[in-house]
Amino acid sequence: MLRTLSFFLALLGLGLSEKVTFENHKVYRLLPETQEQVDLLHKMEDSVGFSFWKGPSYVNKSVDLMVTPSNLAEFTELMTLNGLKYEVYVDNVQRLIDTENPKTRSSSKDGSISLNEYHTLDEIYSYVEYLAKNYKEVEVVDAGRTSEGRVIKGVKISYQEGNPGIFIEAGIHAREWITPATALYLLDQLLNSTDKNIRALAEKHDWYIFPSFNPDGYVYTHSKNRMWRKTRSHKNTFCAGADANRNWDFKWMSGGASNYPCAETYAGSSAFSEPETKSMAKYIKSVGNKLFAYISFHSYSQLLMFPYGHTSAHLDNYNEELSIGKKTIEALRQRYGTKYVTGNIAETIYVASGSSSDWVKANLKLPVVFTYEFRDTGKYGFLLPADQIIPNGEEILDSLLAMFQEASRLGYPNSA
Ligand SMILES: [Zn+2]
């Protein structure tokens, strides 16, 4: 058994204690042009040595795949045999990891934080406590526990209790570091901006902002494996964790999720098998009647999507969400020219079931539910350099202003 275990660990590039290196791991962009090629890529999702940065969906939709040096020969053979076109997007993943954060990190004694670098979970949580200490509008929310026993901490900002609520979730996928960083940027702006539009947005709503829905995974991306996506539960033999955004109890395992425990999109042993999703669902429900909007942050691909992911059918208030989506991405583009695409999840990216946004839409019937996939379109992928945190944050805030303006024009929330 031990031998099998270490064999698999070796395959996964995991020593028992040291940090995983991604030296000479490459990311390829592939373009499947037939359904057979799409099917082949789906099969590769369940095999060791290949890690999808952007999974397969439809014919003529590109796919990003990270390949280890030891799997390179097999990869090129598979591509050639099946006539799949590919090009290198990232030549050496480790080089991007090494240059992602500034060389000199700032240090803080009081818990305040610099917004143009990526932070550890401890730093994020100290910042959250710092905000609660320094702003009377801020309250720290303890919304649950992870499988390793960490607290899932959020921030509630309320200038006037009873304002229509907006919930923002970041970091459900551990390696998408730009998402917690952007949540921190928003917290700062909602509390400190002097721009009158931002002030009005901040003060007219109650904000529930969670920088990390997956603290165990996030810690693991710092301590062991920068490219970790899932939770860190240990329910099966050798592959830890489940995809926390395939684990929610709405149309669970009905497409775009895997029942293979080692796959990046493993849906878990059952719906809400992960303590993170189970406790967050409970918390979200407990404040559900105060909310009209739920926003989840992901990276990358520059998309703004709305439910549903399990079907491409145009359900609920599809037309209104599309109208809000269009206004939102138009506003987002103004500042830096960053182009997003909007549409429902299944049509815009791929079929994916068991996501938090589908669950929220179906259970709480909120009119405004969106999922962002932030910068970029693949040059850096999950390893967006820290000097893009603030520009990304600025354009996202521009877009949120437009989102809630258009929502309001459509009568959401009804009480406003
Ligand atoms: Zn994600």
Residue 75 maps to which CATH number?
A: 3.30.70.340
pLDDT of residue 55: 93
Does residue 199 register a pLDDT over 50?
A: yes
Average pLDDT over residues 292-320: 96
- The beta strand positions in 130-264, using DSSP E, are 138-145, 151-158, 165-169, 206-210
Does residue 303 register a pLDDT over 80?
A: yes
- C-alpha 46/C-alpha 38 separation (Å) is 14
Does residue 4 register a pLDDT over 70?
A: no
Confidence at 1, pLDDT banded by 50, 70, 90:
very low
Cα 321 to middle of ligand 1, angstroms:
20
Q: Within this chain, do residues 126 and 95 fall inside the same structural domain, yes or no?
A: no
Cα 1 to middle of ligand 1, angstroms:
33
Q: Within this chain, do residues 127 and 89 fall inside the same structural domain, yes or no?
A: no
CB 393 within 8 A of CB 211: no
The domain containing residue 132 runs over which residues? 121-409
Is the residue at 163 inside a domain? yes
Rounded to whole angstroms, what are the CA distances from 23 to 95, 355, 377? 7, 32, 22
Choosing from 100, 137, 321, 373, the catalytic residue is: 373
Q: Encode pLDDT of 46-75 as tens digits.
A: 877 789 999 999 999 999 999 999 999 999
Confidence at 7, pLDDT banded by 50, 70, 90:
very low
Smallest CA-to-CA distance from 213 within 229, 224, 199, 197 is with 229
Average pLDDT over residues 112-139: 96
pLDDT of residue 47: 79
For the chain, the maximum distance between any two Cα atoms, rounded to a whole number of angstroms, is 63
Is the residue at 276 inside a domain? yes
Identify the H or E element spanning 318.
helix 318-336
Cα 350 to middle of ligand 1, angstroms:
12
Q: Within this chain, do residues 126 and 88 fall inside the same structural domain, yes or no?
A: no
Cα 222 to middle of ligand 1, angstroms:
17
373 is an active site residue:
yes
Q: Within this chain, do residues 83 and 136 fall inside the same structural domain, yes or no?
A: no
How many structural domains comprise the chain? 2
- C-alpha 168/C-alpha 185 separation (Å) is 12
Cα 299 to middle of ligand 1, angstroms:
6
